[in-house]
Structure 1
Amino acid sequence: MKGFFSRIKLNTIHAKLLGTYLMLTAFGTSLLAGYILWSFADYFMRMRQVDLDNWTGALSESVADALTEKDINRVQLLVKRYGAPQNVTLRVFTQEGKLIATSDPKLDSQVKDWDRVPGMRVALQNRVDQGIAKGVLSNQDRLYIARPIERNGQFLGVLRMSMTLEQFQRQFARVFWSVLGTLGITILLCAFISSRFARSLAKPIEIMQHFAIRLGGGHFGDKLTIHENNELDQLAAELNRMSERLASLDQERRVFLANVSHELRTPISNVQVTVDALKGGAYEEPELRDRFFLTIDSEIKRLARLIHDLLDLGRLEAGVTKLEQQIIPLGGLINRAVNAIEPRMQTARISLEVKVENLPIEADPERLLQAILNLLDNAIKHSPPNSQVLISGYSKGKQAIIQIQDQGKGIKENDLPRIFEQFYTTDPSRKSSGNGLGLAITKRIIAAHQGSITASSIPNQGATFTIYLPLKG
């Protein structure tokens, strides 16, 4: 069902693209075809009007000569010579509007009122009139001109010439259908090209949609390849980066769950075994019972510490924990850490040297104290008796730098890139008291303060952790 709706959506995209291209093509070609046809008709009409004007201008001079000499026969001869009943009708009227010569006497004998013929009233008022009108006794469109006949400022009569547009209309119809056919072929060709073009755009979208669906289904790490040389390439690259990131996060999630399961299973199993032993009779022996109770207490504290660290790490990663920032002196914060850790260091016979400048920093004192205590706890765990831990603090540029250096065995080179990962410990047997979360929590606390932390080590000479924090002011 999901695939069906996906195809509908993609078909809709293809149809919308194709419809848009076709509408633009049809509109543009129709506009162009209409302009061509209009230009053709307008050009023809103007040329015919110019022809009529030139013909009547020349004829009016000849007719004026004949009318001046009162030679009506000559007028009639001119009209018959230049008039053609089928195409061109030529008429001459007196100044009173009486017809004295016509190229189509059979038709004109039926006309009773020449004043109603287009152009006559204007011409009898000694003005030229021209245009398109129906035939005198027909419904055919004709182009006409009515011109006053003058000689030496004297109004002698009217010359009216009309031309049928039937031939032009037939020619125009052929041109119209030719243009319409060309327009149809153009639209069909554009439809084919547009369909291919729209499909070429819709296909990468379809591929990316299937890719996104696979990502949604948990198939992380897949590779999407699109060669379009446009924004779709950039989108494909972003999807590939997202796929790689999701694959990495999924792997981290699996490792995290495996580590959590392992860390939780061990203390719970120890408690279960101890409880079973107590039920089996070990409770009757006081010495054995006390040792078993100590084991249960130790494992429960270890379990509580693990759960607390997991919750703390989860809140830091989710950004739920809000820092209560305030301006504090770095020296005072280090003194708090030293006072808190000093009893343990004395017990472990480890000395402490502090060289810290009293720099102003903006931080959440409790969270930053937690990070420093985690580093000091890590230094104590890996320092031999009668060794020294050095804490130094100084400024460099706009940063406050805190270094915690021990004199233990150091960190192996292949362990250095991973020591800030969750549950990662340098002890593969996990016999130490740590759970591999302390340094991970420390790194996230420092990052929340817009700082960074690095680690370096020299074999058999110790490890150095360096914190970089922005200075205030």
Structure 2
Amino acid sequence: MSLSPIRIRWNSIHTKLLASYLALTALGTSVLAGYILMSFHAYFMRSRQADLDAWSTALSETLADALEENKLERVNVTVQRYGAPETITLRVFAPDGRLLSTSAPDIDRQVTNWLEVPGMREAFKNKMMQGIAKGVLTKDDRLYVARPIYRNGRLLGVLRMSITLKQFQRQFQTIIWTILGTLVLTFILCAAISEYLTRNIARPIQAMCNFAIRMGGGHFGDKLNIGQGDEVGQLAAELNRMSVRLASLDNERRAFLASVSHELRTPVSNVFVTLEALSNGAAEEPELRDRFIQTAQDETKRLSRLIHDLLDLGRLEAGITALEQQTVKLKSLINRAVQAMETRMKSSSVGINLDVADIELQGDPERLLQAFLNVLDNAIKFSGPNSKVFICAYKESSEVMVKFRDQGLGITDSDMPHIFEQFYTADRSRKGSGTGLGLAIARRIVEAHGGSITATSNGKGQGATLTICLPLESRSLV
């Protein structure tokens, strides 16, 4: 249990981002420092080698004059003048390999074979050599040049000049520690900046993670307050919209369950009361029995319609109902709907007025017929006696417009946003004997065909118009 917080900390996005920033900072500063040090070292060595080459060239000319005249005393003076203990060593050799003069006699008298000294063998073969080597009898690094001394094509001797690198190495070591100290300070500064940036990035992400966890636990309607205009802010805004939408869907679900419970409870209760009355003696009176049996049959039919509509709506909402794709003649389909509702219209004293163009479109004829029947049933339900329902259909661009207009009381502003919701019963006096699912099913069928359905009120007492818009061309049907 005690390891859990550590594991969470190391798995957090804050830690991962911070570790990435620090690793990149360390890598970048290390590469830069290495490049600077290597460049500085190479530049110094090239500069010192060039200086050594220039000094040896000038000295070889001076020594050539003295050697040509066989004035060894001048050679010694020159060697002692330009040689310096522990820093610059000058040695002059005769063509036969004898040491003629040296600025370090205490060391050189211990050397028995000068040909083993780096550069000497090649110099006696008329080849100039230069590079880095250990001291003749010491372990310090020295930069040397071994140069043949020529005059008029004749080898007069060999000059070997070397300088110690101790001072440079000490300076270079100081530079290394300075750069390392600078790197540490830079790393600490970058770590502080990285920590600040990481927290700014990780904090909203962690907040969104907690927000998503709360939504997953069923806490909808919360809001994220992340005032950023970048992609993180956009994601937070989308999560807020999702939360609002989920809260709305959850409320709809609760309302739907409550409505379904209410709608199912009423017919079931009526049937139960009727059967109980029949079992308590009402069956012995023919007139009362027939009325109770008729009530039970009506409630059973109502319950059957409600269950059928619920199953229909559930399949459409879940997208598991496969719609056929056929060429549909719109005029024939609307005529079928009108014929199916003819008895209902006569009993309600409602007439019909058709103005439907000959149009063909792609869709599922039976499902479209169901949508038209539901919309027409709604128009008849809210029409007054001796009124008419007007149906017109026409082509507009690449779409078909089908309008159902009644001559009822119209739709109030408060009812307008809810008329396509399941079980919406804002005005119970206009509800009739339906299940309250007709327009919801019609909307889902139309949307499954890639279309839309809208409602408008024609004014107080002038009825309402429901408009179905369907595409002419076939689309993927669900």
Is 1:167 matched with 2:163? Answer: no
Map of 1:90 onto structure 2: 90
Map of 2:471 onto structure 1: 470
Tell me, what secondary structure is at the counterpart of 2:61? Answer: helix
Post-superposition Cα deviations, 1:172-229, rounded to whole Å, max 9, x if no partner, equal 1111112112212221222222222222221111111111111111111111011233
Aligned 8 A contact 1:425 1:435 in 2:
no
TM-score by length of 1: 0.95
Post-superposition Cα deviations, 1:264-323, rounded to whole Å, max 9, x if no partner, equal 111111112112222222122121111111111111111110011111111111111111
Tell me, what secondary structure is at the counterpart of 1:460? Answer: coil
- Deviation for aligned residue 1:95: 1.2
TM-score by length of 2: 0.94
User: 1:468 is aligned with what amino acid?
Assistant: C
Map of 2:118 onto structure 1: 118
Bigger Cα displacement from structure 2, 421-430 vs 184-193: 421-430
Aligned 8 A contact 1:406 1:464 in 2:
yes
Is 1:433 matched with 2:462? Answer: no
- Deviation for aligned residue 1:245: 0.4
Is 1:461 matched with 2:462? Answer: yes
Bigger Cα displacement from structure 2, 463-472 vs 360-369: 463-472
Distance in 1 between residues matched to 2:308 and 2:274, nearest whole Å: 23
User: 1:45 is aligned with what amino acid?
Assistant: M
- The two structures, once aligned, show a CA RMSD in angstroms of 2.0
Distance in 2 between residues matched to 1:351 and 1:268, nearest whole Å: 35
User: Aligned residue pairs: how many?
Assistant: 471
Aligned 8 A contact 2:222 2:240 in 1:
yes
Aligned 8 A contact 2:10 2:16 in 1:
no
Distance in 2 between residues matched to 1:420 and 1:177, nearest whole Å: 78
- Deviation for aligned residue 1:149: 0.8
User: 1:470 is aligned with what amino acid?
Assistant: P
Unaligned residue ranges in structure 2 (runs of 5+): none
Is 1:199 matched with 2:208? Answer: no
Post-superposition Cα deviations, 1:334-384, rounded to whole Å, max 9, x if no partner, equal 221122222332333333232211111112110111111112222222233
What is the percent sequence identity of the aligned residues? 62
Distance in 2 between residues matched to 1:356 and 1:10, nearest whole Å: 70
1:417-432 matches, within 5 Å, as 417-428=417-428, 432=432
Distance in 2 between residues matched to 1:279 and 1:6, nearest whole Å: 72
Tell me, what secondary structure is at the counterpart of 1:15? Answer: helix
Tell me, what secondary structure is at the counterpart of 2:421? Answer: coil
Map of 2:254 onto structure 1: 254
Q: Which runs of 4+ in 1 moved over 4 A?
A: 4-7
Map of 2:350 onto structure 1: 350
Aligned 8 A contact 2:399 2:470 in 1:
yes
Unaligned residue ranges in structure 1 (runs of 5+): none
Distance in 1 between residues matched to 2:105 and 2:5, nearest whole Å: 78
User: 1:27 is aligned with what amino acid?
Assistant: L
Map of 2:244 onto structure 1: 244
Aligned 8 A contact 2:130 2:145 in 1:
yes
- Deviation for aligned residue 1:244: 0.6
1:178-189 matches, within 5 Å, as 178-189=178-189
Post-superposition Cα deviations, 1:27-75, rounded to whole Å, max 9, x if no partner, equal 1111111122112222221222122112211111111111111111221
Aligned 8 A contact 1:10 1:202 in 2:
no
Aligned 8 A contact 2:382 2:430 in 1:
no
- Deviation for aligned residue 1:236: 0.5
Distance in 1 between residues matched to 2:172 and 2:301, nearest whole Å: 101
Aligned 8 A contact 1:90 1:159 in 2:
yes
